[in-house]
Structure 1
Amino acid sequence: MTGLFPDCPLPGCINLTHRQGHPCRQCLASFGDFLAHTPAGTPLTAAVQQQRDRDTIAAYRAQHEPAVERSLAIEAGQQTKPNQLCWLCDERRACVRVAGRWECGQCRHIAG
């Protein structure tokens, strides 16, 4: 809950709702029968909903950071990237970035 009204408990929805733990009107209208909402069930509390959202954001960050580090390592020529066209042998292989061009390990070994 960020203000006077609670947030919709559906992940990704930023709409406000009339009661904590219950979907907003737009989600109910959009998802209709596909939305598994049981009025007699136990709705999410604000604390549980906030913890779930924090855990989800932490998981997304944990997945994203290695991808960014890998991308930077590839661009710096420190790591290979699969399925690149080697400029020397014209074969698709796992190549390293060398002076702005892709070069496979076999060609680097021969030239090196």
Structure 2
Amino acid sequence: MLIEDMLGELGHEVTASAAHLDHALELARNHEFDLAILDVNLAGKSIHPVARALKDRNIAFLFASGYDPSDILREFEGTPMVGKPFEIETLAKAISQALSMNGRAI
């Protein structure tokens, strides 16, 4: 199942998606949304600048990755992460954690 389908099944709406770092940064800096799911490696580039922009705006986020969790920088330790491939239940739990870390609830 695609992540967009999982999110829909969980009652969430996908308002934007980015396949390249520049677009992801633009969205992180200017788009309004409650939560972002960040692939650690976006087209061969680190997603950390996007995570910093979201953190600066106090927007909840979580990481999704097929890579080793040690790829996450120390400044983002404790940020929820789902390892690919993941089940819908795992995604739901990570979303709940990310939102509650930002003082939001679903």
TM-score (norm 2): 0.28
Larger radius of gyration: 1
TM-score (norm 1): 0.27
Give the number of the structure with larger relative contact order, counting CA–CA contacts within 8 Å between residues 6 or more apart: 2
